[in-house]
Structure 1
Amino acid sequence: PALAAGSTVVLKPAEWTPLTASLLADITHEAGLPPGVFNVVQGYGDEAGAPLTADPAVRRISFTGSVPTAHRIAEAAAAHLVPCSFELGGKSPLLVLADADLDLAADLAVEQYDNAGQVCLAATRILVEESVRDAFLGRFLDRVAQLTQGDPRDESTDIGPNIHPRHADRVDGFVWRALAAGAKAVVGGGRNTALDGALGGKYYLPTLLTDVDQDSEIVQEEVFGPVLTLQTFPDGDDDEAVRLANGTRFGLAATLAAGDRERAARIAARLVAGTVWINCFYVRDLSAPFGGSRLSGVGREGGDWSFDFYCDLKNTVTASKRWADRG
């Protein structure tokens, strides 16, 4: 959208994910974009990112990443009153109602392990109506048992590694602190040691934790790994379902598995989320607005929703009948 609005762009990717950004620069060059219109700067945040966000020549900052980094960027941008657009983290819920297609619900839940859980939109908090908990859980565990973890370059692989050994350590820390606090791992709960030698010890088993409290770290904080939690709410208690779903600092997305259209619509209307999927997940129309509420972000992307952000609006007013007579 920045390019479509006529702006020039400097893209600084995360230091652990440099290759796609460089590939995009190659593609824009081959497509004939004039030199200097799309630029890529590689480097660490302190060395490359901080000078960019503090430079007064930068007139807009769009950032995708963590909340702490967004705080630092906002502070730097404030010095020059530079507007910011943030797409940040999430701790999204997946609500499973008693009348839902439980096979579909289980499929949706397992889908949250995609990309080794490194998806900001992932519905990592599964909230199930009590009467169908066991039936849902059985289907979910059956599907998890069929997943293949391994090299992402192998087409038979369902779950690859985390991005970096340090990130795998972070994911493991979340899980072990949760277990120490009383959580139960009904599946996973640690590293996939059988694959440790393959790609540097970055593989973490798809994990589901139960017996977790709403105010616990594992429920409240973004893990960004293949780790889900399971909680229940009383049958028919939509208020409690919504309370649990909205009970974090985030509001990026929500997923709902339901059989009754009207009940699903009522619940969806009460969810604090920039995107709500009903009986589906990650269906994105790029012309639709995308973004989050609360600590999940500021602003929207998609379609022409962000054009105003990348432009300064100008209003030109002309007085009538004041033109000089030129014959």
Structure 2
Amino acid sequence: MSAHTLTVAGVAVDTRHWIGGERVASAQTFPDVSPIDGGTIGEISRGTAGEAAAAVAAAKAAFPAWAATSRAERARILHAIADGVDKRLEELAIVETTDNGALLRSHRRGVMPRVAHNFRFFADWLLKLEHEDFETRGHTNHVSWDPAGPCVLITPWNAPLMLATWKVAPALAAGNTVVLKPAEWSPLTASLLADIAAEAGLPAGVLNVVQGYGAEIGDALTSHPDVRRISFTGSVPTAQRIAESAAANLTPLSLELGGKSPLLVFADADLDLAVELAVEQYDNAGQVCLAGTRLLVEESVAEEFTRRFAEQASALKQGDPRAEATDIGPTIHPRQLEKIDGFVRRAVAAGARAVIGGHRVDGQYYAPTLLTDVAQDSEIVQEEVFGPVLTLQTFSDEEEAVRLANDTRFGLAATLATGDPERADRVTARLVAGTVWVNCFFVRDLRAPFGGSRLSGVGREGGTWSFDFYCDLKNTVTAPNGWTNHG
């Protein structure tokens, strides 16, 4: 076994970059630490501007041939990658759980199957991607999607492989080449994806994976003049730096950023369902951008809702994410844990009351927390915590509910619990959000547009919207009867 290979829960993982179809080591490394026990999993190649330039060069060199590859062949290879994910599903699940602390049962049953689905969906969508021709004064208009070029994809740590392939799959399907930069807190499954893609027959240089710290390698990627698309999921401050970096080349951006989403509970809602939806917001230890962290409950049912919620949330089992019975695992990193705790401590100092939780548990675990008596303009209500921390506020009528729901800088998602379909229509029409769920949560279909409003992002992806971003759209206009036979 290579000196650059880790054994993670019995799975071999190469710690080097994947550039131009070869493994490339860096002179320096950085430690990858498991949030489960705080132990170092291993040392990962730490890329800098040199590796960034090499990866973009490899993607640029591979682009003409991949762009010229037929849609059918591109789709075939993407399906082969999906097959490879299915074959290694258990390995991917245990490696990702070790790396980022999310529940193993979720990785097995939902997340890794979704990774394979990402590739299959965009492969199939590619084959039916078309726009009906239309006429202008007898001239025929034909719309086509042309591959744009090398794409830089920068992905987060909370669902590393699923969110990476949500970008990689449509970019490759569109005929682009890719440089993937995974989060430094959870890089391992991106390395395994490189192996799977190569085994599936993806040509060298079409997918490149570079690891490292954003401050050291990120700007070299996002400012590179040969990069034609940048897609990023993460925080608003990082997105602002990426936008500045990309501005010189006018590189198009797709940004999926933070959220401070509301969950509105009206008195006419099924209260059991509303409580169930609210408790579900603790999924992945609250490290979910779409989470409805602001519970807004109609005054007349607030006391009963709070009682039931506290009872159900307190029964959640927190512990080792590899155990089948565990409901909540650890936070990703000591720095994130400190951030979460700081938010809660400042909120309590300002007058908030912890109905449940409000404190750290052993290791990198934070107790599921619900805070009440919070002001609308307070930090805990306005800023994304990204941990198992919810706030609860009350409203008196529909007008106040909508006002409170929209009163942040964000607009990623919203959840609504009501028994009145007319009210649902009225309220959802007024909510500022890229996705609204009514009496459900986290139902996602790749055919639907996904993205955020306000500071929650720029652009939409999913279905044809993904191809609109990852391609240069072309309209070809042909004159009627304009052909000359030159014999």
Length-normalised TM-score, structure 2: 0.64
Match of 2:403 in 1: 243
Distance (Å, rounded) in 2 between the aligned partners of 1:324 and 1:276: 55
Aligned in 2, Cα 1:322/1:89: closer, same or farther, shift over 3 Å?
same
Distance (Å, rounded) in 2 between the aligned partners of 1:26 and 1:75: 33
Distance (Å, rounded) in 1 between the aligned partners of 2:474 and 2:264: 45
CA shift for structure 1 position 316: 3.0
CA shift for structure 1 position 186: 0.6
Match of 2:341 in 1: 172
1:210 aligned to 2:372? yes
The range that moved more, 139-148 or 315-324, is 315-324
- How big is each residue's C-alpha offset from its partner over 1:113-144, in whole Å with a ceiling of 9 and x where there is no partner? 01000000000000000000011111101111
Task: Please show how residues 99-118 of structure 1 align to structure 2 within 5 Å.
Answer: 99-118=268-287
- How big is each residue's C-alpha offset from its partner over 1:167-205, in whole Å with a ceiling of 9 and x where there is no partner? 10000000000000000001000101xxx2xxxx21000
CA shift for structure 1 position 241: 0.3
- How big is each residue's C-alpha offset from its partner over 1:2-50, in whole Å with a ceiling of 9 and x where there is no partner? 1111111111011111122222222222222111111111000022211
Match of 1:119 in 2: 288
1:308 aligned to 2:468? yes
State whether residues 461 and 469 of structure 2, in contact with CA within 8 Å, keep that contact through their aligned partners in structure 1.
Answer: no
State whether residues 160 and 203 of structure 1, in contact with CA within 8 Å, keep that contact through their aligned partners in structure 2.
Answer: yes
1:289 aligned to 2:458? no
SS in 2 for 1:205: coil
Task: Please show how residues 18-29 of structure 1 align to structure 2 within 5 Å.
Answer: 18-29=187-198
- How big is each residue's C-alpha offset from its partner over 1:203-231, in whole Å with a ceiling of 9 and x where there is no partner? 00000000000000000000000000000
Aligned in 2, Cα 1:31/1:259: closer, same or farther, shift over 3 Å?
same
Match of 2:390 in 1: 228
Letter of the structure 1 residue corresponding to residue 379 of structure 2: E
Match of 1:61 in 2: 230
Aligned in 2, Cα 1:317/1:139: closer, same or farther, shift over 3 Å?
same
Distance (Å, rounded) in 1 between the aligned partners of 2:355 and 2:480: 75
Match of 1:183 in 2: 352
Letter of the structure 2 residue corresponding to residue 228 of structure 1: L
Match of 2:212 in 1: 43
Letter of the structure 1 residue corresponding to residue 262 of structure 2: P
Distance (Å, rounded) in 2 between the aligned partners of 1:16 and 1:301: 25
- How big is each residue's C-alpha offset from its partner over 1:208-257, in whole Å with a ceiling of 9 and x where there is no partner? 000000000000000000000000001xx111100000000000000011
The range that moved more, 205-214 or 35-44, is 35-44
State whether residues 252 and 275 of structure 1, in contact with CA within 8 Å, keep that contact through their aligned partners in structure 2.
Answer: yes
Residue 16 of structure 1: which of 185, 196, 213 is its match? 185
The range that moved more, 299-308 or 167-176, is 299-308
Letter of the structure 1 residue corresponding to residue 380 of structure 2: I
The structure with the largest helix share of the pair is 2
SS in 1 for 2:337: helix
Aligned in 2, Cα 1:46/1:320: closer, same or farther, shift over 3 Å?
same
1:299 aligned to 2:459? yes
CA shift for structure 1 position 323: 4.5
Distance (Å, rounded) in 1 between the aligned partners of 2:345 and 2:444: 34
Letter of the structure 2 residue corresponding to residue 227 of structure 1: V
The structure with the largest strand share of the pair is 2
Residue 414 of structure 2: which of 243, 249, 254 is its match? 254
Letter of the structure 2 residue corresponding to residue 315 of structure 1: N
State whether residues 369 and 390 of structure 2, in contact with CA within 8 Å, keep that contact through their aligned partners in structure 1.
Answer: yes
Distance (Å, rounded) in 2 between the aligned partners of 1:318 and 1:275: 39
Match of 1:136 in 2: 305
Match of 2:171 in 1: 2
Match of 2:250 in 1: 81
Match of 2:40 in 1: none
Match of 2:319 in 1: 150
CA shift for structure 1 position 319: 4.3
SS in 1 for 2:171: coil
State whether residues 299 and 306 of structure 1, in contact with CA within 8 Å, keep that contact through their aligned partners in structure 2.
Answer: no
Letter of the structure 2 residue corresponding to residue 311 of structure 1: C
Distance (Å, rounded) in 1 between the aligned partners of 2:483 and 2:464: 36
SS in 1 for 2:474: coil
CA shift for structure 1 position 315: 2.8
State whether residues 314 and 356 of structure 2, in contact with CA within 8 Å, keep that contact through their aligned partners in structure 1.
Answer: no
SS in 1 for 2:436: strand
Distance (Å, rounded) in 1 between the aligned partners of 2:320 and 2:474: 52
Distance (Å, rounded) in 1 between the aligned partners of 2:483 and 2:268: 71
State whether residues 413 and 436 of structure 2, in contact with CA within 8 Å, keep that contact through their aligned partners in structure 1.
Answer: yes
Q: Identity of aligned pairs, percent? A: 77
SS in 1 for 2:463: coil
CA shift for structure 1 position 288: 0.8
Letter of the structure 2 residue corresponding to residue 8 of structure 1: T
The range that moved more, 136-145 or 115-124, is 136-145
SS in 2 for 1:264: helix
Distance (Å, rounded) in 2 between the aligned partners of 1:260 and 1:206: 31
State whether residues 2 and 9 of structure 1, in contact with CA within 8 Å, keep that contact through their aligned partners in structure 2.
Answer: yes
1:277 aligned to 2:277? no
State whether residues 223 and 246 of structure 2, in contact with CA within 8 Å, keep that contact through their aligned partners in structure 1.
Answer: yes
Distance (Å, rounded) in 1 between the aligned partners of 2:183 and 2:372: 33
CA shift for structure 1 position 157: 0.5
The range that moved more, 134-143 or 212-221, is 134-143
State whether residues 258 and 279 of structure 1, in contact with CA within 8 Å, keep that contact through their aligned partners in structure 2.
Answer: yes
